[in-house]
Chain A
C-alpha cells in the first residue's frame, strides 16, 4: 500500500508540476506582455510592476522566470485581476468554497440516492422499476445540463415559485464571505438572523444541487446495478444462500459491500464529469464559484484569473481522483494486485 500510495502521490505531484509548466507557458501564448498576464499589473511604469519583474526574475533566463513563477505561486501570490485589480488568490479561495459546497453536496445527493436505487433495480432485475430506472437513466444522462437547468428554473422557480431563480442567498442577508461556502459562512458568522439566512440559503441551494446531481446520480445508479448483478451471479452468493443465510443478511454483508467496489472506483470519474457541468450550472445560476469566475475571465481576457481558475479546477479534479483511487486501493486490497500485475 505504501508503495502504491507513493506512486500515486508522485504521479499527482508530477502532473501538478506539468500543470504549472503549462500555466507558465500560457502567459507567453496569451496576447500581450507576459508579466502583465501573470501579475495583472498593466501599468509597466509603476513601482509595483518593477517589483513584480524583480520577484519573477524577468530579465533573467526563461528557467529563472519559471522558478520565480513557481515561487510566487506557492506563496499564494497569484497576482491581481486585470479587471478588478483585486488579489486573485483571495477571490479564488472564496470562489472555490462556493464551488466545493455545490459540487460536494451534489455528489453526496447522487451517491445517497443513486446507489440504493441501483441496488434496488438489481434486486428487481427486469422488473418494472428496473426498466424505468434504466430508461430514465440513459435519458437523464443525455440531457445537456444547460437545457435541464433552464427547464428546471422555468418549472420550479418561475411557474411554481419553489425556488429562486439565481444566486446563493437573498442579498439582503448581510453574511460576511469568509469561506465562500454559504452554509458554512452563515454557521460561523455571528449574524443576527442566522436561522432565517440559513433557511434562505437552503431555499437557494436545492435547485442547483438537484440539477447538478442528476447526471452522476443516474450514472451511479447504472454502475451500481451492473455491479450488483455481477456480484449476485457469483458463486459465493449462491454458497451463502445454500448455507441458509437470510436474504437481508446476504444483501447487507455480502453483496452490497462487494458491489460498492466498482462504484467507488467510478466516483472520481463522476466527479470530473460533475465539474464540467458545474461550470455551466454556475453560470446559469449566477453562482459565485470557480466555474463562473473562469468563464467571466475568458470573456474579459482576464489572464491572471483565467490561470487561477484553471489551476484550481484542474488541481481539485486531480486531487479528488487521486484521493478516490487511494481510498479505493486501501478499502479493496484486491485491486492493488491488479495494479501491480505484470504487463
Chain B
C-alpha cells in the first residue's frame, strides 16, 4: 500500500528513542550492545548450556590445558582448574554471580534510589540542598570501601554482599535522579503543565519522567559496571561470594596459586570480566555521547 501520507508530518521521537537512533550510528555502541546481549543470553541460559557440572571435580583431568593448546582436550574447551573442574562451565555458571547478581542489585538500587531522588527533587528548599551536599560527600567515598565496611559488620556471604552493593549504589541513583529532576523542573514545559493545573504526581510521572529516562539509563550502566567490579573485587579479596561458587573474582583469586604454570585459569575468567565491563562501559559512554549530541542538536 503506497503511503497516503501527503502532509509533511514529523513526529519527534521520545528522548529514549532519539538516543537509540543516535547510538545506532555508532558501530562501537552496536558491537557493545551485541556483546552485552550475548553475555546476558549466556547468563540466562547458563543452567542449560554448561557442558559440565561446574562443581564436578574430574580427578583425572586436574589443570588440563585449554583445547587450543598442544596437550588440551576437546572435552574441556577452556581447560580445567586445580580441582579438575571444567573452566568453561565455571565461567558460564559464574556469569550468574558476576553479572546476574549485580543486575539484580542495580535494579533494586535503581528503584529505591530513583524514588528517593524523585521525592527529593520534587521537594523544595533546605532539605533538598542539604541532601545534595551530603550526597556529594558520601559519593566521594569509594563504593568498595563502603562495601568493605558493611561486610566487616555482617560477615562475608552472597546475601550480605548483595545487601552491601545495593546499599552502596542507592546514593548514586538518588544523586543523579535528584539532579536531573532539578534541572528539568524549572523548564518551561514543566511550568506550562503546572499552570495547566496538573498534580505533582502527574508532572513527575508523565511530564518529567520521560525526559530523564536517559539519565537513569546512563546511571544504570555506570552502576552496573561499579557493581560488577565491586563484587569481583570483594570476591578477589575473599570477602565476597564464598567457594565453591564460581564467581569470577574469586576464581581469579584462586588462580593465583597456579598462575605461572596454568595461566589460562587466570586469563580466561579475567577476559570474561573485562569484556563484560568493557561492553557496559562502551554502552554507557555512547549513551552519554548521544545525550550530549541530542542536547547540542536541539
Contacts and interface: CB of A to CB of B under 8 A. Distances in A.
Does chain A touch chain B in the assembled complex, meaning CB atoms less than 8 Å apart? yes
Interface residues of A, number: 40
Interface in A122-139: 138-139
Contacts of B44: none
Contacts of A318: 137, 140-141
Contact of B273 (A11, A141, A144): A144
B133 A150 contact: no
B145 A269 contact: no
B144 to A, nearest CB: 4
Contacts of B281: 138, 141-142
Nearest to A145: B233
A210 interface: no
B184 interface: no
Nearest to B148: A298
A272 B274 contact: no
A128 B67 CA distance: 37
Contacts of A295: 148, 237, 239
A106 to B, nearest CB: 15
Contact of A276 (B145, B152, B256, B273): B145
B148 A144 contact: no
Contacts of A144: 229, 232-233, 236, 249, 252, 270, 273-274, 277
Interface stretch (B9-17, B111-119, B193-201, B259-267): B259-267
Contacts of A298: 148, 151-152, 239
A209 interface: no
Contacts of A297: 152
Contact of B225 (A29, A142, A306): A142
B238 A11 contact: no
A26 B150 CA distance: 10
Interface in A277-312: 279-280, 283, 294-295, 297-299, 306, 310
Contact of A154 (B152, B249, B260): B260
Contacts of A151: 267, 270
A264 to B, nearest CB: 15
Interface string A98-119: 0000000000000000000000
Interface of A: 11, 15, 26, 29-30, 138-139, 141-147, 150-151, 154, 158, 268-269, 272-273, 275-276, 279-280, 283, 294-295, 297-299, 306, 310, 313-314, 317-318, 321, 343
Given A11-B133, A295-B148, A317-B140, 6 more contacts: A26-B153, A142-B225, A150-B252, A272-B142, A279-B145, A299-B239
14 contacts: A139-B274, A142-B277, A142-B278, A143-B274, A144-B273, A147-B273, A154-B259, A154-B263, A272-B141, A276-B144, A276-B145, A294-B148, A295-B237, A295-B239
